[in-house]
A and B are shown apart, each in its own frame.
Chain A
């Protein structure tokens, strides 16, 4: 006798309930309640009319585990057809990641470190920052973490670049259409708040764990949000009088976009790029659980094997990498800002 028998009785569904008494697999809770003598429940213990509570009253009513299993079944059913579409579509990502990993690792350190320092020097025009970067990579290499750091850097380079290439046009489209913005903002909110591990679950089903695109997609999805948001915001924040002037002088939409809106939104877009890079770094560590190489693997090893030293040093290496990436992009941002303060 369950609490909610009366619902099905009054609705006249008793026959339907008893029709399929081919009992569903028994859960642990069922087993427990069967062994213990069920005392009469007081009003205080009335259960919420949840799926499981209703299932107690009516065997035909689905249990909550049927819901999760249904979702899983549904996903597995469409998985094959989805793979047919997604696999070729995402294959270039695998190639890009493999290529980048190969390039970053095959280049000898005495070429790689100066090249990275040179890029930073060109972007930031700051001798101090360049010196710091030489020192940081030197330090990482000295403690034999150079290869791991390069793997992480290669993944970030590819994923952040793709996130920017996709994110900026999405942000521009959002800034031009209020309807698209209304649709996209909840999607972006979801991408941003979904725990990073959750991205990995459906991806593991879709792709083989040996493929780089598995973690590539996870990193891109996680990191694309800020660049989309800030591109949209940046373009919407452009002084309306300047836009009016562009119109008044007969600029076409295209001239307005490339000649006025994007240049004036550039500080915000660059802030978005900075955030995107930082978030790819965060995700690439988590993605080491699905075979992403790099410093994250060492962190994971630290947790798995309780190798405290390895985990901590790798963590500090990630911090160092984060500082390098953050400072270089911020320096670039500062230069953009200086060029167009109003």
Chain B
């Protein structure tokens, strides 16, 4: 694996009057509830170690109060850590002075906010051009670039409107266009779609995936919605009470939850829609009996079941890049659907 684009190492954040003392306690193994009860300090983050790879979408998921928004704000130092480091492109950004930090925020990272955080007194075009205006660009310099990204997110011709004249979904498109205009490698998205209606949220997720295929940015995405996390994530990090409970490839986490908390968490999702043939299949290159239907490794179990038309005895050939990588029996599909602890072998 190549060196990560962003690497968070031993990061601690403690909110309170005397964080240094509480830090020792946290290092000694104290968790959030005890620290609050005995020292009246809030444990924001405890010993976070996450590597975020170039060109991947890393999703940080957790319920409210799990510290996910605190974590993403450490990546561009909107919040200063109590201890630990954040390494971006091989440099520890905790060592940056104000000017270097501003340069990083202008060129290396951009951010999309939950409540959009557009400047209400500036037009949509000016909002989109914010990263260029911050650099001192004049209208004729930034206009072409801003219009390009505005068109790209599907807001052609809305440049002269003011943000309050747009709907929530359109405002967030402006937020995304603003982040794209900076041409930064890294995009931080803090619950970017949480304030939107479900349908619009799906649209926006599709837009993000489409942009990502084209632009290959390193995206850090925060969400409390597991379906959204599974849809977007290349790498999934699950936080609870300021600690990483499990991280890894989302399909892997689904099949091998390491913690009862995660089992609870994934209990309610539609597994048929999320799990893929590749995850459930038996890895083999021995051909299954004649007449087995070929399916793609990325097909969801829902697609597999539809294809099978209800027949429980079918076996599929799972194909990837024109080669068979495994076989998938319908029985395995059905077992995978009920969850991690199968109810006894039949």
- A253: shortest Cβ distance to chain B, in Å? 9
CB contact list, A207-265 vs B, under 8 A: 239, 241-242, 244-245, 247-252, 255, 259-260, 263-264
**Chain B residues bordering chain A, tally (CB within 8 A):** 29
Report the separation of the CA atoms of residues A342 and B105 in the bound assembly, to the nearest whole angstrom.
Answer: 26
Would A247 and B134 count as touching, CB distance under 8 A? no
Question: Taking CB as reference atom, which chain A residue is nearest B135?
Answer: A250
Report the separation of the CA atoms of residues A33 and B43 in the bound assembly, to the nearest whole angstrom.
Answer: 73
A26 lies within 8 A of chain B by Cβ: no
A341 lies within 8 A of chain B by Cβ: yes
B96-114 vs A, Cβ < 8 Å mask (1 yes, 0 no): 0000011111100111011
B334 lies within 8 A of chain A by Cβ: no
A111 lies within 8 A of chain B by Cβ: no
A106 lies within 8 A of chain B by Cβ: no
Would B78 and A244 count as touching, CB distance under 8 A? yes
Report the separation of the CA atoms of residues A259 and B162 in the bound assembly, to the nearest whole angstrom.
Answer: 16
A339 lies within 8 A of chain B by Cβ: yes
CB contact list, A117-172 vs B, under 8 A: none
Would A249 and B131 count as touching, CB distance under 8 A? yes
Residues of B within 8 A of A341 (CB): 120, 164
Residues of B within 8 A of A249 (CB): 105-106, 110-111, 130-131, 134, 178, 182
Report the separation of the CA atoms of residues A190 and B115 in the bound assembly, to the nearest whole angstrom.
Answer: 40
B76 lies within 8 A of chain A by Cβ: yes
Which of B105, B131, B188 is the one whose CB lies under 8 Å from A247?
B105
A42 lies within 8 A of chain B by Cβ: no
B121 lies within 8 A of chain A by Cβ: yes
Report the separation of the CA atoms of residues A181 and B227 in the bound assembly, to the nearest whole angstrom.
Answer: 47
A10 lies within 8 A of chain B by Cβ: no
Given contacts A248-B111, A341-B164, contact A264 B106 (CB under 8 A): no
Residues of B within 8 A of A241 (CB): 113-115, 117
Question: Taking CB as reference atom, which chain A residue is nearest B132?
Answer: A249
Would A250 and B102 count as touching, CB distance under 8 A? yes
Report the separation of the CA atoms of residues A341 and B121 in the bound assembly, to the nearest whole angstrom.
Answer: 8
A27 lies within 8 A of chain B by Cβ: no
Report the separation of the CA atoms of residues A340 and B126 in the bound assembly, to the nearest whole angstrom.
Answer: 14
Would B78 and A250 count as touching, CB distance under 8 A? no
Residues of B within 8 A of A242 (CB): 117-120
Residues of A within 8 A of B101 (CB): 250
Which of A245, A263, A266, A340 is the one whose CB lies under 8 Å from B111?
A245
Would B78 and A247 count as touching, CB distance under 8 A? yes
Report the separation of the CA atoms of residues A241 and B120 in the bound assembly, to the nearest whole angstrom.
Answer: 12
Would A248 and B76 count as touching, CB distance under 8 A? yes
Residues of A within 8 A of B119 (CB): 242, 245, 259-260, 263-264
Report the separation of the CA atoms of residues A96 and B335 in the bound assembly, to the nearest whole angstrom.
Answer: 89
Would A244 and B120 count as touching, CB distance under 8 A? no
Which of A239, A251, A266 is the one whose CB lies under 8 Å from B117?
A239
Report the separation of the CA atoms of residues A255 and B132 in the bound assembly, to the nearest whole angstrom.
Answer: 13
Would A248 and B110 count as touching, CB distance under 8 A? yes
Residues of A within 8 A of B102 (CB): 250-252
Question: Taking CB as reference atom, which chain B residue is nearest A266?
Answer: B121
Residues of B within 8 A of A248 (CB): 76, 78, 105, 109-111, 188
Would A250 and B121 count as touching, CB distance under 8 A? no
Question: Taking CB as reference atom, which chain B residue is nearest A243?
Answer: B117
Would B117 and A244 count as touching, CB distance under 8 A? yes
Which of A244, A250, A255, A339 is the one whose CB lies under 8 Å from B113?
A244
Report the separation of the CA atoms of residues A266 and B119 in the bound assembly, to the nearest whole angstrom.
Answer: 13
Would A250 and B105 count as touching, CB distance under 8 A? yes
Report the separation of the CA atoms of residues A159 and B290 in the bound assembly, to the nearest whole angstrom.
Answer: 96
CB contact list, B65-122 vs A, under 8 A: 76, 78, 101-106, 109-111, 113-115, 117-121
Would A342 and B130 count as touching, CB distance under 8 A? no
Which of B103, B106, B121, B130 is the one whose CB lies under 8 Å from A339?
B121
Which of B117, B134, B162, B178 is the one whose CB lies under 8 Å from A250?
B134
Would A264 and B117 count as touching, CB distance under 8 A? no
CB contact list, A76-96 vs B, under 8 A: none
- B220: shortest Cβ distance to chain A, in Å? 13
Residues of B within 8 A of A260 (CB): 119
Would A342 and B164 count as touching, CB distance under 8 A? yes
A-B contact pairs, 16 of them (CB 8 A): A241-B114, A245-B118, A248-B110, A248-B111, A248-B188, A249-B110, A249-B182, A250-B102, A250-B134, A251-B134, A263-B119, A263-B121, A339-B162, A341-B164, A342-B163, A342-B164
Which residues of A does B touch, CB under 8 Å? 239, 241-242, 244-245, 247-252, 255, 259-260, 263-264, 266, 339-342
Q: Nearest 5 A-B pairs (CB), nearest first? A: A250-B105, A250-B106, A245-B117, A248-B111, A250-B102
